[in-house]
Every structure is written in C-alpha cells, then in structure tokens.
Amino acid sequence: MSVPRRPPALLTAPLLALALLLTGCGFSITSTPTTPATSAAPAAAPGQGAAGPESGAASVLRESASEEPAPSPAEIPGLGPLTWAQIPDDARQAFVVTGEGEDSNRSSTMLYTREDPAEGWESSAGPWVAHNGMKGWTDHHVAGDLRSPRGVYSLTDAGGRLPDPGALLPYDEHPRFAVDGEGFFGEPLEGSFDYVVAINYNRTEGVSPLDRTRPLGLERGGGIWIHVDHGGPTQGCVSIPEERMEQLLRTLDPELKPVIVMGDAESLRR
C-alpha cells in the first residue's frame, strides 16, 4: 500500500490504518538444409520412369530433410538464463512484469501460457500498463524501502473487497480490503484492493492475502500484491487497471501453477 503523503491525522478512514498493518502492498508475462550432391544422379534403369524409384539426388534431399532438427520450444522474450532458472518446470502460466528501469515505478505486463511444453510459451494477454514500487526494484526487499522485489514467485491466492468475479484461484471476499486516503501524488486510493492476487513473497501459501504471517521476518516486508491501479506508484506491489485485474483473476489457473516473473528489463535479461 502506498504510504500516504499526508500526516496520518488526515487519513480519516480507520480502515486505512488497519490496511497498513495488514499489508506492505503499495497503494497504488529457415530453409531446409540440404546435403551437397557429390555426383550426378544415376540414369534411370530400363523400364523406370518418373513414377519409378526416386533418383539418387531425390533420395539425398529426402534424407537431408528428415535430419532437420525439430524447432526449439518458444521462449518468453526478454528473459535471460538466470531468470529462466528460477521458473519452475511445472509452471505453465507466467505473468511477466517488466519495469522500465531499476529506479522507475512504471512497468508493462504480459501473460504467457504453455499449453504444450513441446511447443513452448505463447502470449495470452497483454501488454498492459502497470505501476510498481515508488523507487523501483530491488534484489533484497525490506519493509519500507518503497521498492518491488525482483524474482519469480508463485501465485496461489486471491481476494478483494468486491464479490468474486469468477476467479479460478481461491478468493477471499472481505471488507478489510477496503482502503481510503491518497497516494504519493495525491491520487485517491479508494478501490485499490477491490481485487488482489497475493504474490508469494514472504508469505504462507494457501491462505487469504490478508494473512500476516511473514516467514522471512517482519523486517523483510510482505503483503506484496497484484492489485487495482490507482494511477500512481505503489509501496512495493504491482498494480494494473481494474478491468485487467478481473481478466487476470478469471485466467490464472491453479492447475497451471501460475507464477509472476518481475523486475526491471535489464535484470530480467540476465
């Protein structure tokens, strides 16, 4: 949740204070090679015309074509070997958040799906505009640093103030997702948590996004979510427009082991 720029006394909604305690979320993926022929094709044997046994040259071409390697499965563009190594083998959905720069709070997002591992990844939604942490990205997120944690994290739980829009992930509808106040640039925060997907950074999987358990300790922050964009940077979350959040909730499928791949463009290429 974005840290409001007003003094706390001006945040009139008591639910904001409660939300601040519950989440560190910001207010706010060639031609066929041929073997060179070394000799002319032999003349056709008597009685063998064009429809008879193929010539030596044709045989060479067919054999060469059969040896052509199968195409490699499609990969997600913009990801380097270190990032790929973090994506679990069983993940078949990847929500990729690409930040404009290490210190930028603006990103773009794409959803990729791997229906057939032999064919690889295909884009299935996006690109969508997004915001991330006010100060950009970090490899070592701590509470209050206003940066989003780089990395690959599973997505297992969702929720929000509004009724379930048809989410495939477990969805917790709760009034405690209500929020009020203003963001970093004075933008209203109301509705930011109408829909959220918990990013499994420093949290326990399989529980409501409101759960406050922090396995790495409170100092490492938590409550990092994908949530409704409010037109400004976050305190560490990723935010996208409301209609995109609804679409994402209807698409992320626990059977496909979805993950989020997030970071600035340069770091993702490593």
| Each residue's pLDDT tens digit, 7-56 | 333 333 444 433 443 445 634 333 333 333 333 333 444 334 334 444 45
- CA 242, CA 247: separation in Å to the nearest integer? 9
Task: Spell out the alpha helix ranges (H) of 71-193.
Answer: 81-84
Q: What is the pLDDT of residue 119?
A: 85
pLDDT at residue 24 in the model:
58
d(CA 238, CA 234): 7
Q: How far is CA 72 from the centre of its chain?
A: 22
For residue 78, report the phi and psi dihedrals to the nearest 5 degrees. 85, 5
pTM value surpassing 0.85: no
Stretches where the chain sits below pLDDT 50 are 1-23, 26-55, 57-66
Q: How far apart are CA 152 and CA 237, in angstroms?
A: 14
Q: Which of 67-71's residues contact partners 24+ apart within 8 Å by CB, and which partners?
A: 68/32, 68/33
The kind and range of the H/E element at 21 are: helix 14-22
Under 8 Å CB-to-CB from 61, ≥6 apart: which residues? 34
Tens of pLDDT, residues 109-134:
999 999 887 889 999 999 999 999 99
Q: Which two tokens stand for residue 241?
A: 């427009």
Per-domain boundaries in the chain: 16-29+74-268
State which H helix or E strand residue 46 sits in: none
- Asked whether 260 and 155 are in contact (CB, 8 A), the reply is yes
